[in-house]
Amino acid sequence: MPQLGGVLQRKKTWTLRELVEAMEKTYCSKVGLEFVHLPYRDRCTWIRNRFEEMQYTPIPDETKKQILSRLFWADEFASFISKKFNTMKRFGLEGVESFIPGMKSLIDELGNHGAKKVIIGMPHRGRLNMLANVVRKPLEVIFAEF
């Protein structure tokens, strides 16, 4: 018998309508993920459980404000770069703005769990924004190098 995911473990019995609504909320919303290609079933199960449970975890208002603030900073930085350096190739964040608050949250959580070092390897897209808004490299240094 297959293991039940995190959402399905919340209730003992489900109506078909409740089950469809729960799965649509989880997998047909604004965020998606791919994990079934992983060769380790236990890792797939872990990811699925966390992703499904995340849909039912309330986010505190203060955290929402912090995420929104990070989105604003990332967008403003990208806008500033595009205006001031309009002739240079700058690899903006168009379409991946949520990457910045996501990475910042990830690094914050790693620090909360005892990580001492984070190594980031990434393509050019969003690199300047990452340096400014996640790594907190001084803007003067970024612009001098840019």
pLDDT tens digits, one per residue of 74-102: 888 888 888 877 776 666 667 677 778 88
Burial of residue 126 (CB within 10 Å: 0-12, 13-18, 19+) is buried
Q: Where in the sequence is the domain holding 118, given as residue range(s)?
A: 61-145
Q: Is residue 104 part of a domain?
A: yes
Percent of the chain with pLDDT over 70: 84
Which pLDDT value is given to residue 2?
39
Return the beta strands (E) in 3-77 as ranges: none
pLDDT classification of 1: cutoffs 50, 70, 90: very low
Same domain, yes or no: 41 and 87: no
Question: Would you mind telling me the total number of residues written for the chain in this entry?
Answer: 146
**HSE on the CB side for 16, CA within 13 Å?**
0
Positive or negative torsion for Cα 68, 49, 122, 94: negative
- Distance in angstroms (rounded) separating the CA atoms of residues 34 and 56: 20
- How many domains would you assign to the chain? 2
Q: Is 0.75 topped by the overall pTM? A: no
Same domain, yes or no: 73 and 127: yes
